[in-house]
Chains A and B, each alone.
Chain A
């Protein structure tokens, strides 16, 4: 059996980009995703490897291609380009070898969509209970919350741009609700 036949092929289950009234929906490209659990020091070590800072509570630290999203006081979600997945995982494991931690590759578990436009908060508010006014949910803020009944991670990247991350099997439900919500915009 050749090497290539052993490789899993990742096909997106997300519908293609589309412009709704006041919001552009776009599937986020496949990414490397790691859940990191451990102490604050563990996250600082990982952040140094990635070249980012340790994000504060309910915040993301990021550069153009990578991000660390705060998920809880001992849990972070690391996002990076798909091509860096194997090398980054190895570098993180090496740097964290002496520290108690859990580092799990969830690249295949999550999918994400990008929502951008003046109606983005109104569309999100059809499924999310949180106050999405910029005063309550400023740029850079991220949190796990519920979209309808599905667990999601929401990250405000710009005043009118959001990254919405959910588990793969929840995606048809979340996208269905977004499509229904978009019809009412």
Chain B
């Protein structure tokens, strides 16, 4: 058994997804504690061009399984390839992104390897003896649990996208690439049709500035003003679940426990109360500005600049102030 950390990369639409780079980032941190190497398993078809991306973000070794059977994501061939590679490499830890694909694949692989799996982790810590402490929210974010997997290997975890930090890209890095051939079993599931929406327009996870609206600014005028403000600042807008449930804002813009985790340079929250489920998705933003008319709102427990005021009145004025200052 090695003590290495193996990451199952996620590639969709011919691109390695951000969560994979984030996993490499945290794995490099964990590896410092016990001197492990970070290996990345990249599966798909015609994906050799993506190797340099995972290497640039810090992989020490890439295991490449490139096969027509892996052209689209299907549970069984991916699970078969991942299990065979894990049995061969015997890593101490296996990390998978907690995306739809990752959360489908990881339990299948964990059950086949007869080991434990901790879902949707938001914090990982390594002990010197190579045991991993995996922390995850439960009960909709009201409770957190730290889970260990003392006697089974590998220790497996799916990790929530957007939570871990990726390293800076370094084009000069190089790493060993291991090609692995798999003799795939016949498939029981047939793919009839696949529809992908590859370009998510201004995804909230990538924005430097987010202007967030809650129920307190739920009227069309204020929302329009918030969108314009976000635009002017070169960022984008997002919201609490209240406005997504009310069908005022698209669900892909929901921040929080059941939405996305974001960490922009600046998060400006208007009329958001700050329920734990919302905080879980934004509290790690670099700088948080909150405007709420209730001075006891929980959003102020995480804000760097907390302002008790009427957001519907602040929003229109803010635009003028920003125009003044950007001209100055």
| Bind each other | no
- Which residues does B use to contact A, with CB under 8 Å? none
- Which residues does A use to contact B, with CB under 8 Å? none
